[in-house]
Chain A
Amino acid sequence: MTDAVGNITLYEEPALPARGSRAWQRFRRHRLAMGSALFLGLLLFTLLATLPWTSTRYDAQTLELNRHPPTLAHPAGFDTLGRDLLVRCLFGGVISFSVGLGAAGLSVTVGVLWGAIAALAGGRIDNAMMRLVDILYGLPYILLVILMKVAFEQPLTYLIGDRQIASIVILFIAIGSVSWLTMARVIRGQVLSLRETAFVEAARAAGAGSGTILVRHLLPNLVGPIVVYATLTVPQAILQESFLSFLGIGVAPPVPTWGSLAAEGVAAINTVTSFWWILFFPSLFLGVTLLALNFVGDGLRDAFDPRTAN
């Protein structure tokens, strides 16, 4: 099923019986979040199932059909270069999700490691590490994303050997490496309180090292905040990618993303004739997906932290 739901089923495993299944029950009661998760599952399934087809056809042009309005056979119409917009939206969705999931994965990995190590090390190291997080918090992060994208794209292209893939990878690296700060703070706070609990003390008394304690005993208890922040980072990353696309520094064309498709739609708007479908369909995909991701994130937060639910 979907990523979100797939992740949840993980907690039904015996490692975390009581709390995990309670969270799962609470999440299932959250209708909006449940519906959104189902929708995301269906969407991802469609995107992946049509991928073999869309990945070869997303750039196919029929010049006579440029800006052709939607028809039954092509429900989203054609873009300014005569390419089927639905095919491009489906393929663009895969790219947008890759950027979002990649950025979320990176930011969770860095954030968890940073926060947990800082909390476990304590003292001066903790101080220095969190001080750096404070400093980075003060950075205008969108500027950093743009700078990183421009600065490291060429070296990465050289390294990977493919301009398209490099431009996608650098995007999620850039977005991911500025969005782990909140994660690090949350995890540090959690680890600081977990560190003092009896079961960690027992593990330490039994001779477990810091690494073992982190992986075997602390991480399972951090699953809640990690999942919540990861789900909320995905829509953020997708949104930021769309800004970069609008500014002309996103994924290299002709590979589409929802953001770049919407940006093309904005460019197609003019006072004489409006080619509304070129803007409408990508925006619809983008908007509805971001909404669903936000609902799932909120639902998960309520499920894992019943205090905030009302």
Chain B
Amino acid sequence: MKYVLKRLLQAIPILWVIYTITFLMVVTVPGNPFQQADRQIPEGIQRALEARYEIDNNWRYYWQFLAGAVRLDFGPSFQYRDWTNSQIIADALPVSLTLGLSAMTLAIVFGVPAGVLSAVRRNSWLDMGTLVLVLIGVSLPTFVTGTVLLLAFAMSLSWLPVGGWGRLDQIVLPALTLSLPFMAYITRLTRLGMLDVLGSDYIRTAKAKGIGRQRVIWKHALKNAFLPVLSFLGPAFAQAMTGSFVVEKLFNVPGLGQHFVNSVLNLDRGLIMATVMVYSALLVGMNLLVDVLYSTVDPRVRLSE
């Protein structure tokens, strides 16, 4: 408990540094949403607009945005009138979280058993099959695998919808696409871990004691082989949620990733910083969660530092 509190306190300066880095980069970009080449605004109005959105003074903006961010108020949106950035995030974040969570669930549910089985039956057709899956997941960008899945399941077979969001069947394809690289990694890590563990003494002891083969594999061995997977899961969860903009764009899912890419292209600095802060907070939180989980799975790890 004390450890969790300490880590949460440490997160504050981390987030502050991230905010500052982001701010500096955003300020470096020349221009803002109110300066557009195709629609010249008189200079007076331009200045009034900048004053209205309080971006005429960088130093003041820095502190003002920070003060707002602490209260989860990220200011008014520059792009969408009558929306605040907090409303946009509240709208889009659940979508990205749902997508990321379902993708990671798929990755674990298929990846871990695949890794275990391919380690137990080394060099069998099952091992080769999972190898092919792993290779595809590692070597093709998600927009290519996603397109292939679209062609197969949505266009040729018409089993699933092409895109959109809101119904249950609309989650399947994007979640599957997003999960492939993670599934590949988890399979590989589990397989390596299992191969390592299966040769160790305590497994031989467990077998010698007469414990059933399945029990040895799935309980005794997997518990230790899962540790490297667990430490991969923290960053992976965060990546699945932040790295989903490609999948979101391909399947037209109204998630936060789309907003981030658009905000960068539109130089909408309020939304850029808001999304970066939300993503970073997610990442920091996920890493903390994994560290805590790690100590409950592996009692040898003490959380005191």
Contacts and interface: CB of A to CB of B under 8 A. Distances in A.
Interface string B267-293: 100001001100110011001000000
Interface string B21-54: 1100110111000000000000000000000000
B242 A140 contact: yes
Interface stretch (A22-30, A117-125, A141-149, A161-169): A141-149
B144 A291 contact: no
Interface stretch (B76-84, B98-106, B202-210, B244-252): B244-252
A146 to B, nearest CB: 6
A242 B141 contact: yes
A249 interface: yes
Nearest to A289: B139
B143 A143 contact: no
A208 interface: no
A193 interface: no
B25 A135 contact: no
Interface of A: 135, 137-140, 142-143, 146-148, 150-152, 154-155, 235, 239, 242-243, 246-249, 259, 262-263, 265-266, 269, 271, 274, 279, 283, 286-288, 290-291, 294, 308, 310
Given A140-B279, A262-B141, A147 B22 contact: yes
Contact of B143 (A138, A155, A246, A294): A246
B111 to A, nearest CB: 17
Contacts of A279: 144, 147
A243 B141 contact: yes
A248 B143 CA distance: 13
B140 to A, nearest CB: 5
A246 B280 contact: no
A286 B246 CA distance: 17
Interface of B: 14, 17-18, 21-22, 25-26, 28-30, 135-136, 138-144, 147, 150-151, 155, 192, 195, 235, 238-239, 242-243, 245-246, 249-250, 260-261, 264-265, 267, 272, 275-276, 279-280, 283-284, 287
A142 to B, nearest CB: 6
B139 A146 contact: no
A135 B287 CA distance: 12
Interface of A is mostly: helix
A263 to B, nearest CB: 7
A288 B138 CA distance: 11
A291 B139 CA distance: 5
Contact of B141 (A138, A147, A154, A239): A239
Given A138-B280, A143-B279, A269-B147, A246 B249 contact: yes
Contact of B280 (A139, A242, A308): A139
A286 B264 contact: no
A180 to B, nearest CB: 16
15 contacts: A135-B14, A135-B17, A138-B280, A142-B242, A147-B22, A150-B29, A150-B265, A150-B267, A243-B142, A249-B265, A262-B143, A271-B155, A283-B144, A287-B139, A290-B140
Most buried by A among B17, B136, B143, B147: B143
Contacts of B30: 154
Nearest to B154: A271
Nearest to A153: B29
B169 to A, nearest CB: 18
Given A262-B143, A290-B139, A143 B276 contact: yes
The 10 lowest CB-CB distance pairs between A and B, nearest first, are: A290-B139, A140-B279, A140-B242, A291-B139, A242-B141, A151-B25, A287-B139, A151-B28, A151-B29, A246-B143
A30 to B, nearest CB: 15
A282 B209 CA distance: 55
B14 A266 contact: no
A310 to B, nearest CB: 6
A147 B26 CA distance: 8
A242 B139 CA distance: 12
Nearest to B283: A138
A270 to B, nearest CB: 9
B179 to A, nearest CB: 16
A140 B238 contact: yes
Contacts of B275: 143
A138 B246 contact: no
Contacts of B265: 150, 248-249
B249 A247 contact: yes
B197 to A, nearest CB: 12
